[in-house]
Structure 1
Amino acid sequence: MQSTSLPFSRDLVLVGGGHTHALVLRKWAMDPLPGARVTIIDPNATAAYSGMLPGHVAGHYTRAELDIDLVRLSQFAGARFVQGRACAVDRGRGVVQVEGLPDIGYDVLSLDVGITSRMPDLPGFAEYGVPAKPLGPFAQRWAAFRDGSGPAQVVILGGGVAGVELAMAMAHGLRAVGRAPEVTILERDTALTAVGGSAAVKLRAAMRAAGVTLRENCAPVRLHSGAVELEDGSELTAGFVTGAAGAHPYPWLAQSGLTDEAGFVEVDARLRTRDGSIFAVGDCAEMVETPRAKAGVYAVRQAPVLLNNLRATLSGAGGLRPYVPQKDYLKLISLGEKSAQAEKFGIALAGPALWRWKDRIDRKFMAQFDDLPAPEAPDLPWPRAAGAASEDKPLCGGCGSKLGRAVLQSALGETIGDDSAVLDTGGAQQVISTDHLRGFLADPLAMTRIAAVHALGDIWAMGAAPQAALAQITLPRQTPELAERHMAEIMETARAVMGEAGAEIVGGHSTMGAELIVGFTVTGLCERAPITLAGARPGDRLILTKPLGSGVLMAAHMRHAGPGADIAACLARMAQPQGAASELLRGASAMTDVTGFGLAGHLRNICEASGVGARIMLRDIPLLKGALDLSEKGVRSSLYAQNRAGFEDLADDGPAALLFDPQTAGGLLAAIGGDADAICRDLRQAGFEAAVIGEVTDAPGQIEIV
């Protein structure tokens, strides 16, 4: 974790969540370099482990067992995870360009983006083929086909070890779900040239036993929907076509000026490119001095060397180590069923015992990413003031760190008012509100998007159109050079979110402090009377525009728990703007946004201001994926107990517990007197996970859960 005595002074950026980078993050967490800020960029929240892919395809492993959780791993390492697709490296400016996001600056950069088995030269492949790499998208497409119906006809383009292993796994996986497979491998030349003669003979026999057809010296010329056209003019029917032939680098790497003629990034023995601040590892790299085949075993063994050399470069201390790859490596090849073949130095053996050995190796590798210890509470000093105690869990960020409803009411001596103040200037009605969020993510880009949407929520809840914004930013301690880079990323993100909402950032303030805090003061104009908390009428129906559960998911994330895919989905929902939802709800009798007080607290605000009650249909409330499971395991936001207070008459088990979960950038809660079902359909069509969750009653102050 970042030392409290040293500001950030250097940016290390890891592009790609390959095996080497995953291991580097795991080791970095054990011994971080003070002053270094780490960023990892990857399009996906998880990275598939190639060693277990054939077993997953065959049905021996679940998808969860296949994936390295990059979100949890980054949190554990104290790194910021940026979910995005890198598309260029601008060495002159020292930035990585990411699709749809601001440029991310680096001082030291490492590339581990893997390869693709796409076949751009084969007509129709982009439309009808599924490349075997990257692994994550392939696994998703395969699962959909395997669990489908109809003829189970599969064609694999490429008769190397990877294609053969995949073919046998597919045949077994289809049989396991009751489908009769017809699996064919097409190889332009001779299959299995990368293994010794004995190993090739055994693999050919294993293919025949698995019912896989191998056609050598047979080249495809075009893919059609449901068929592969061959060079002799015939067609081979196929419902699933995948490419496992060769390894192709991503085209964007070539523009870096660091690649060979084939497009792979050239590195020396120290895994460093000719640009001394850029490293490359795994399949995307070509070791100029010791060329080797593209195999995961090299990527795994590169990790300690890369970690040492990154630390040496960041610190300027020197001492870079060379990576010396082994001349040959043990090839463990799955045979579809729970059997495997081992080959090294031309010697080949096969059998169930070898599969069990491979299974143990793979599970041991993955266990180091699954078993991430939660952060420990610091030791309490002694002596200490009476009543001072350490929390048994970290203080939540976002709305989970805010003061509770009862505390604010007691301090203010009045009922909680509307989301924004209403100003009447020359007959024009303007609303103004301010809000900020304590950092709950290491990624300032995601934090800024969510904080901006959160601040705009007060404006949208009044039915106003956002107009202008002031930014208030607190950066964690860092050098002026990094602060300039950091602020540029934040402000570009903020301008994009505010601009999309129709507002312009007109100024703001910044400072440095102990942690990242992002806030905005926002104004909006009302074309009609503002929608307030007061105005709800008995018989109105209640619409919620976003699912609940962000508080519990973020609490889990801070403890290195919670599936990364669920965390990423939660962040995406939090960052969803609600301008369109506000417009669809313009006829609401009363409206608010659901934030720190939770659904129950904000609903009570409407009931108290309107002099009404409410009935909630618990089964109709949408929940974020993973939130209920975590809640039932006892995960709670820091603010949960305060939100629960005052609702002792309501249940707090099962889904009911999430009524008190503080939401950051939560949904709009509207009381609707018109056709709520039609409005809800329009909201869902516009991309909101909206639902009618209850109705307003004539029992003042009473909230009932059904």
Structure 2
Amino acid sequence: MTVNPSRKHLVLLGAGRANLQVLKGLARQTTGDISITLVAPHPYYIESTMLPGYIAGDYTLEDVRIPLDSLVEASGATFVPAHVHALDPATRRVQLSSGDALPYDVLSIDVEPAIEREHAETLMPGSRRNALFVRPLENFVQLWPQLQALSHERALQVAVIGSGVAGAEMAMAVAHALASPHGTRVTLIAGHEPLLEDHPPGMRRRVLNRLKHLNITLLQDRCAGMDGRALQLESGASLVCDAPLLAEGNGAPAWLQQAGLLDDESGHLLINERLQSEHHRQVFVVPEDAPAEIGPVLEANLRTAMQGGSFKKVPLDASRLRAISGGDGHAIVAWGPLSLEGREVWNWKDRRDRRQLLSLFKI
């Protein structure tokens, strides 16, 4: 792979929202002394906040999956369709699945949360062969119609394995989408901790009521294995299951864990208030729970890292509005202790999500 040595090389790993906001900013204010490369497995961006709506039938695939080509072209970037095999911050090189070793001056990592197959197989033997993994999203949206088609042939027993918002939203969307015509039933296996215990009590109560309304069985248990016919739970129980959906990621992908950017004990990212790695200041990493509006600050800091100037702090712990899709044109929102739900809330969330997605790709 040829890189112009006379220009600083900015490499963006992953087509996450923040990296795409960086591309958008660079498209508006281009600079001749920077070359840009975007590395991602697929030439699409899938809006994860709208995925439950796609599952529930509120959106088409074209509504939630946007091609990257126009944004890449406008920014003057080079798109490399590849997976990352390894990252060596010491030599500033990224080893790609294409066989190329991509050098960089500054690196921005904004990748999709991973569900590592090997780790999942260790925790839940049989999952690699039998589970439908929700991530990567691109693979899941291709396989989802097959499960829909099967539900039109007969009633299914579906288990969604995942704690937190991701598991709850997926369970509610699937329950609505597959209820007709044969009455497919959904079970949410949400781990031992109370579901959404870190959310406002009012929101948690509304989500639990919504699960009950959709006839979703909530199990505070963990999946310990699967064989294609049933799930084995840590409690010792067995659950008949036609389709297990693994909706919970294991955090950072293996190559990021091996790059020395994480705390060895906690597994959390070692980054400062500017999103820089504590040990490798030319590497910037967007955490999974970063605010949606983080991109412009990231762009400014990437420019500073290449051209000089003052860095900006990123408000990672800012209080934010929480919104959860509830299936069937229903949503729940909370701001502090206050919460609301219903179709009007869904209409508001729909307008907000569509507006944010349009804004992301509008040059």
Global fold match (TM > 0.5): yes
Structure 2 unpaired stretches of 5+ = none
**How is 1:390-539 mapped onto 2 (pairs within 5 angstroms)?**
none
Post-superposition offset of 1:220:
2.0
Post-superposition offset of 1:239:
2.3
SS where residue 292 of structure 2 aligns?
A: helix
User: Are residues 299 and 232 of structure 1, via their aligned partners in 2, closer, same or farther at CA, if it must alter by over 3 Å?
Assistant: closer
Cα distance in structure 2, aligned partners of 1:71 and 1:299: 25
Post-superposition offset of 1:179:
4.2
Amino acid at match of 2:225: R
Post-superposition offset of 1:78:
1.0
User: 1:141-169: per-residue Cα shift (whole Å, max 9, x none)?
Assistant: 22221122333221011342221111110
Name 2:256's counterpart in structure 1: 253
Tell which deviates more after alignment, 223-232 or 76-85: 223-232
Name 1:277's counterpart in structure 2: 282
Cα distance in structure 1, aligned partners of 2:168 and 2:238: 21
CA contact (8 A) 1:253 1:265 kept: no
SS where residue 314 of structure 2 aligns?
A: coil
User: Are residues 27 and 71 of structure 1, via their aligned partners in 2, closer, same or farther at CA, if it must alter by over 3 Å?
Assistant: same
Cα distance in structure 2, aligned partners of 1:303 and 1:232: 43
User: Are residues 368 and 188 of structure 1, via their aligned partners in 2, closer, same or farther at CA, if it must alter by over 3 Å?
Assistant: closer
Amino acid at match of 1:277: Q
User: 1:546-599: per-residue Cα shift (whole Å, max 9, x none)?
Assistant: xxxxxxxxxxxxxxxxxxxxxxxxxxxxxxxxxxxxxxxxxxxxxxxxxxxxxx
SS where residue 42 of structure 2 aligns?
A: coil
Q: Which one of 119, 130, 133 corresponds to residue 131 of structure 1? A: 133
Name 1:161's counterpart in structure 2: 165
User: 1:87-128: per-residue Cα shift (whole Å, max 9, x none)?
Assistant: 111223321100133111111111111312442422111221
Amino acid at match of 2:136: P
Name 1:49's counterpart in structure 2: 47
1:242 aligns with 2:240: no
Post-superposition offset of 1:277:
1.0
Amino acid at match of 2:110: D
CA contact (8 A) 1:251 1:263 kept: no
Post-superposition offset of 1:241:
1.0
Name 2:212's counterpart in structure 1: 208
User: 1:322-350: per-residue Cα shift (whole Å, max 9, x none)?
Assistant: 11234321111111011111112122111
Cα distance in structure 2, aligned partners of 1:185 and 1:83: 35
SS where residue 154 of structure 2 aligns?
A: coil
Q: Which has the larger radius of gyration?
A: 1
User: Are residues 7 and 224 of structure 1, via their aligned partners in 2, closer, same or farther at CA, if it must alter by over 3 Å?
Assistant: closer
Q: Which one of 67, 86, 89 corresponds to residue 87 of structure 2? A: 89
Cα distance in structure 2, aligned partners of 1:196 and 1:185: 20
Instruction: Give TM-score scaled by structure 2 length.
Output: 0.91
Name 1:181's counterpart in structure 2: 184
Cα distance in structure 1, aligned partners of 2:137 and 2:184: 22
Cα distance in structure 2, aligned partners of 1:14 and 1:138: 24
Amino acid at match of 2:142: Q
Cα distance in structure 2, aligned partners of 1:158 and 1:165: 10
By relative contact order (CA 8 Å, sep 6+), the higher-ranking structure is: 2
Cα distance in structure 2, aligned partners of 1:268 and 1:231: 38
Cα distance in structure 1, aligned partners of 2:112 and 2:287: 6
Cα distance in structure 2, aligned partners of 1:159 and 1:321: 34
Count of paired positions: 351
User: 1:595-639: per-residue Cα shift (whole Å, max 9, x none)?
Assistant: xxxxxxxxxxxxxxxxxxxxxxxxxxxxxxxxxxxxxxxxxxxxx
SS where residue 272 of structure 1 aligns?
A: coil
Structure 1 unpaired stretches of 5+ = 1-5, 284-293, 373-706
Cα distance in structure 2, aligned partners of 1:253 and 1:54: 28
CA contact (8 A) 1:124 1:224 kept: yes
Instruction: Give TM-score scaled by structure 1 length.
Output: 0.48
Post-superposition offset of 1:208:
1.1
Post-superposition offset of 1:308:
0.3
CA-based RMSD of the aligned residues comes to 2.0
Name 2:333's counterpart in structure 1: 342
Amino acid at match of 2:287: G
Name 1:302's counterpart in structure 2: 294
Cα distance in structure 2, aligned partners of 1:158 and 1:253: 22
Tell which deviates more after alignment, 188-197 or 270-279: 188-197
User: Are residues 162 and 236 of structure 1, via their aligned partners in 2, closer, same or farther at CA, if it must alter by over 3 Å?
Assistant: same
Cα distance in structure 2, aligned partners of 1:282 and 1:47: 18
Post-superposition offset of 1:206:
0.8
Cα distance in structure 2, aligned partners of 1:46 and 1:163: 24
